[in-house]
Amino acid sequence: MKYFVFIFFLFTQFVSAQNKRFIYQYTFIPDSTNKANVVKEFMFLEVSGNDTSSFFSQRKYQSDSTIMAPANKGKMIMPPMDLTVLYTIEKKGGKVFYKTLGNSAQMRIKVNDERKLDWKILNDKQKILNYNTQKASLNFAGRAWNAWFTQAIPLQDGPYKFHGLPGLIVKMEDATKSHIFELVGISNLPDDYAYPERYQFTKEVEFNRSEYQKYYTKYRKDPAAVEKQLYIEGKIPDQRDSSGNFRTGAQVLREIEVAAKENVKKDNNIIEIDLLKE
């Protein structure tokens, strides 16, 4: 896949909070037993107000944009099976929500994460992308993290669930360097911009952290549960792949199930590592 070329805006002055897209490169090691497999993905932090933002992957955005129309007509065209970051993080009014697809086509999960971020601001300073940044540390979700933030962009926000520092987080990495977020660009969003929701969800189920951990454990035991339900509902039709090869819906489902189980097996170094502790 060809990624678009970023035009860098290396501001040293105030950046307006309204309708901005902060582009991060997310570098991570999904399998702790194979540290040579390093995955890189572009992530978008879209800020639409002083206390409102969304964080998601570029590839998910592109996939949802492509399949939105047929999905809204009740036909499920499967997204690429190698998508690695499927969640959206929403921050609003000081609250943090983790959103992802649930166990049916008509269900979305919304996890209210009420954990407080106990930052320790340190004296260390560093120049990153022409920004003067300062270091802060944090223990979160089973990992020790280091952040570099800049007061030149006075947004108390950053990648993933991280927020609350007196400036935008320019770089964030855990102590093992398994998960690293680095700001690589900034762009404006049009006034009429809206994320391309690929489903018209009829139900959104809200979990607290403990409830979601139980749900997540169950998911890892049957990672293709959503697709099985879609198949039962007739929403995974017979189709041709990008090479023109014909496959029945049942064949597509089987491929998805095999790939999903293999992905879970290799996805043992997740960002919130404490979720794997039952």
The DSSP bridge pattern shows strands 52-57 and 88-92 to be: antiparallel
DSSP tally for the chain: helices H, then strands E: 4, 14
Per-residue tokens: 14: 């105030």
Query: What share of the chain has pLDDT > 70, as a percent?
Result: 81
For residues 249 and 187, give the distance between their C-alpha atoms in angstroms, rounded to a whole number.
40
Nearest of 210, 208, 160 to residue 183 by alpha carbon: 160
Nearest of 189, 195, 266 to residue 34 by alpha carbon: 266
pLDDT band at residue 3 under the 50/70/90 scheme: very low
Nearest of 133, 131, 161, 132 to residue 147 by alpha carbon: 133
pTM of the entire predicted model:
0.79
**pLDDT at site 171:** 98
Q: 108 — phi, psi (to 5°)?
A: -125, 140
195-243 residue pLDDT tens: 766 555 567 889 999 999 999 998 888 888 888 888 888 888 989 877 8
Per-residue tokens: 90: 């929403």
Nearest of 231, 212, 264, 259 to residue 102 by alpha carbon: 212
Nearest of 39, 40, 42 to residue 21 by alpha carbon: 42
100-155 residue pLDDT tens: 887 665 678 999 999 999 999 999 999 999 999 999 999 999 999 999 999 999 99
Q: Which one of 153-157, 179-183, 239-243, 264-268 scores highest in mean pLDDT? A: 179-183
Nearest of 267, 222, 258, 238 to residue 81 by alpha carbon: 258
Q: Which one of 35-44, 99-108, 210-219, 244-253 scores highest in mean pLDDT? A: 35-44
**Where is average pLDDT lowest: 2-16, 18-32, 249-263?**
2-16
Name the H helices within 73-208. Answer: none
User: Would you call 47 helix, strand, or coil by DSSP?
Assistant: strand
Question: For 167-195, what is the mean pLDDT?
Answer: 92
**How far from each other are the two terminal CA atoms of the chain, in whole angstroms?**
37
Question: For 250-261, what is the mean pLDDT?
Answer: 90
Q: Which residue, chain included where needed, has tokens 């879209």? A: 46
**pLDDT at site 86:** 84
